[in-house]
DNA sequence: ACATAATCAGATTTTTTTATCTGATTAAAA
DNA sequence: TTTTAATCAGATAAAAAAATCTGATTATGT
């Protein structure tokens, strides 16, 4: 199957979106996140840890602990989440897998693709956060 | 690692591009294709078979056999190749993995993403074939 | 007709990704 | 201070994708 993001990355983005729908400081446990998104708890725990290490979210240990957004959602870009989870490969690697693809020796998709990548992966910055939140809330509800 | 296309799909696209750089009817063996693209021969053989079944390329069996483009390159779209190898999943599946994502209940990336998909996956139709061929030749040479 | 060189088909192995398990550590609440 | 409920860390298992192997079939060229 062709995929765009790894499963890990999909779950990570979903989790961040869920946290985004809450007030700043609204804290959720890994189990709660897993249940609402219907994804494996242990797996999402690992991903939440990576997001924590990379400063996208923060974690509170111990009883009544959990996870919450570290940044103001307005400053958050999709780029940051993907970088935190899967690293820079998706941006460095040629979309068709040609090893020497570059601006100077571009593959047939090179220009359109990097244009698209820039547009898409910076999107959480220029969308208004209200609209974004609303869409996300709809989505979370539609899962349940 | 986040990827865009499966490895299988990448190899398939690369192989078709290689065939595109030849005159219509120019035939190449799986081994030749594997060597020029520096990808595993047995794996690309399988992929070439799938492309054959789906009518993207045709195969000639026996001695002096091999593979060649089945269509006029002008009629060929990236979409066709991806569909032949990985099926329609990439177009049906939500980019963020939300199970109920649709036009009516869109995920935050839904609209931008489908816009991008349409632009990108139909591209081999509206690019002029000469330019496309030139880019591909550059690319193949830069690998070696 | 025979040898050769290719595709084709299916099974198997290896590697990577996804998912699970176990236990340690942390901190709040009783 | 003890119990409880959470993150954290590392090992392991299961599933999927990528790669390899073996042999059969096909058709060309000698």
State the CATH number of the domain containing residue B114. Answer: 1.10.10.10
Contacts for B138 with CB less than 8 Å, ≥ 6 apart: A105, A106
Residues 6+ apart with CB under 8 A from B101: A139, B94, B107, B110
Query: Is residue B2 one of the residues assigned to a domain?
Result: no
Q: Would you say residue A96 lies in a domain? A: no
Q: Which residues contact A21 (CB under 8 A, 6 or more apart)?
A: A133, A136, A137, A140
What ipTM, to 2 d.p.? 0.84
Q: Is residue A19 part of a domain?
A: yes
Token pair 């799938």: residue: B50
Asked whether B135 and B123 are in contact (CB, 8 A), the reply is no
Residue A93 lies inside a defined structural domain of this protein: no
Span B11-55, pLDDT tens digits = 999 999 889 876 556 899 999 999 999 999 999 999 999 999 999
What separation in angstroms does the CA of A4 have from each of A95, B13, B77? 11, 16, 19
Give the mean pLDDT of A81-97: 86
Q: Which domain holds residue B17?
A: 7-143
Q: Indicate whether A73 belongs to any domain.
A: yes
Mean pLDDT of the A41-64 span = 95
How high is the pLDDT of residue A127? Answer: 47
- Chain A residues 45 to 74 with C-beta below 7 Å from nucleic strand D: 45-46, 48-49, 52, 59-67
The answer to whether position B20 is within a domain reads yes
Strands B66-69 and B57-60, bridge-based pairing: antiparallel
Contact, A127 CB vs strand D, < 7 Å: no
- Please check whether residue B1 lies inside any domain of the structure: no
Q: Minimal Cα–Cα distance from B137 to chain A, Å?
A: 9
- Assess if residue A15 is contained within a domain: yes
Q: What's the total number of domains in chain A?
A: 1
Question: Nucleotide C4: nearest residue by CA–C1'?
Answer: B63
């Amino acid at each position: 199957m062709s995929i765009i993001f790894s499963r890990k990355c999909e779950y990570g983005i979903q989790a961040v979106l869920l946290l985004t729908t809450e007030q700043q400081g609204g804290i959720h446990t890994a189990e709660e996140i897993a249940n609402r998104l219907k994804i494996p708890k242990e797996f999402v725990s690992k991903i939440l840890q990576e997001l924590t290490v990379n400063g996208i979210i923060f974690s509170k240990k111990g009883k009544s602990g959990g996870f919450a957004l570290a940044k103001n959602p307005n400053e958050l870009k999709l780029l940051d989440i993907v970088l935190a989870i899967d690293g820079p490969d998706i941006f460095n690697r040629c979309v068709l897998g040609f090893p020497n693809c570059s601006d100077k020796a571009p593959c047939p998709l090179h220009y359109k693709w990097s244009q698209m990548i820039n547009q898409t992966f910076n999107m959480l910055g220029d969308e208004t956060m209200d609209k974004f939140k609303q869409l996300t809330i709809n989505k979370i509800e539609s899962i349940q």
